[in-house]
Amino acid sequence: MTPFWDMLNRIEQSDVMALLENTSAEKVRPLIGRPRLSEADLALLLSKGATPLLEEMAQQARRITQARFGNAVSLYAPLYVSNKCSGTCPYCGFKKTQKIKRRTLSIDEVEAEGEVLSRSGIQHVLLVTGDCPGKGVEFLCEAARRLKKRFPSVTVEIPPLDEADYRALTECGVDGVTLYQETYDKALYDELHRGSPKDNYMYRLDALSRAGAAGMRKLNLGVLWGLSDWRYDAFRLALHARFLEKNHWRSQILLGMPRLHNVPGDFTIPCKVSDRDFVHIIVTMRLFLHDAGIVVSTREKPGFRDNLLAIGATQFSAGSKTEPGGYSAAERQSGAQFEIDDQRSPKAVEADLARLGYDPVFKDWDRGFIS
Ligand code: SF4
């Protein structure tokens, strides 16, 4: 068992469900300005009874975000190494049964992609690979070494690793790990990933603790909104973030907010999350976790995404391509993981954010800060 799972199991599920089903706004209102919230408070803020108070919650979330982050918005972009995957995750455009053109970049091609990306102004690159045979830690180390010449910050979104492998990556210059649990509902997770390389829920659940122990400076966790009941997943995600904050205080904790929109045609999103519910999740995360970065990707539409900055978002991807080789090629030559809804270039995002009064930040981290 992982320490976080043990902690989660000490909380009585029926008690949490009762709080999430609360329909009384009066129980929620006194919590909105409270500086430190308990687990029970968190459940009440996520409850149905909190819905009429969303505007008040958003105003408080805005005050906290301003106090902690000012107007700064960090920008980054993903760099996909491969779309070959032995995984069978039904919601993913890279699953092995998906009929797409497959491609895996060589080290030189990764470097070439990095060169094009860096010319767009991006200084934080997120290396992404699915469960791709032959692209293990040594390859990622070499890719990181090459990319560090151009990018002050290199982070990875890759399958979970042992602590020693995370340590090897930090030694090559990788400073952060993004790893989404997809859903904290273990029965659903097992059902969705049966027979897939991703079928070990516990190993995944503990991965960010291993990454933190290995010295990763940024730990980005999340769920795929739309897979399961959002209230209960948000409750467990927030507790996981607080657990990591407490146990890995040297690392910055970030919450990724990937919401399912564009999925393979043979998959139906089981629990679609509306815009209002998505806002409810973000403001609650901000009220519960004052210092966590909140990352909103190009899965969201431009205007909606920009509005989320006012209530808690602090980091955007920009100009993203979700297929390997996407930055260098004039036209798409391989399959993408998902279609993006915000097509703006990094420069266009920068200009829009400046017009709205925010400070777009391309460089928010450099290893030199700590050495
Ligand atoms: S989610 Fe990851 S492991 Fe699953 S099919 Fe997609 S790339 Fe592969």
**5 located within any domain:** no
User: Can you tell me which atom of ligand 1 is nearest the CA of 132?
Assistant: 8
Whole-number Å distance, alpha carbon 318 to ligand 1 midpoint, is 22
pLDDT tens-digit map of 291-302: 999 999 999 999
pLDDT of amino acid 164: 98
Residues with CB under 6 A from ligand 1: 85, 87, 89, 92, 94-95, 130-131, 198
Domains identified in the chain, total number: 1
pLDDT tens for 317-350 read: 999 999 999 999 988 889 999 999 999 999 999 9
- What share of the chain has pLDDT > 90, as a percent? 92
Q: How many CB atoms lie within 10 A of CB 262?
A: 14
Task: Determine, yes or no, domain membership for 50.
Answer: no
In a domain, residue 206? The reply is yes
Point out the ligand 1 atom lying closest to the alpha carbon of residue 193. 4
| Alpha carbon of 145 to ligand 1 centroid (Å) | 25
Ligand 1 atom with minimal separation from the 85 CA: 8
Task: Please report the pLDDT score of residue 135 as a whole number.
Answer: 72
* Averaged confidence pLDDT in the chain: 95
Q: Quick check: is 37 in a domain?
A: no
* pTM of the shown model: 0.96
Residue 207 belongs to domain with CATH number: 3.20.20.70
Domain that holds residue 158: 71-369
**Residue 345 maps to a domain:** yes
Report the nearest atom of ligand 1 relative to the CA of 198.
3
* CA of residue 14 to ligand 1 center, whole Å: 32
Centre of ligand 1 to C-alpha 240, Å, is 22
Q: What is d(CA 105, CA 174) in angstroms, rounded to the nearest whole number?
A: 19
Alpha-carbon dihedral sign for residues 127, 132, 136, 137:
positive
Rounded mean pLDDT, 200-215: 97
In a domain? residue 54: no
Q: Whose CA is nearest to atom 7 of ligand 1?
A: 130
What are the tens digits of pLDDT across the range 236-292? Answer: 999 999 999 999 999 999 999 999 999 999 999 999 999 999 999 999 999 999 999
pLDDT in the model for residue 291: 97
Has residue 169 been placed in a domain? yes
In-domain check, residue 198: yes
Q: What is the pLDDT of residue 368?
A: 66
Sequential DSSP letters for 176-205: EEEEEEE-S-HHHHHHHTTTSTT--HHHHH
Q: What confidence category does residue 111 fall into, taking pLDDT thresholds of 50, 70 and 90?
A: very high
Structure tokens at 359: 């400070």
pLDDT classification of 1: cutoffs 50, 70, 90: low
Tell me the percentage of the chain whose pLDDT exceeds 70: 97
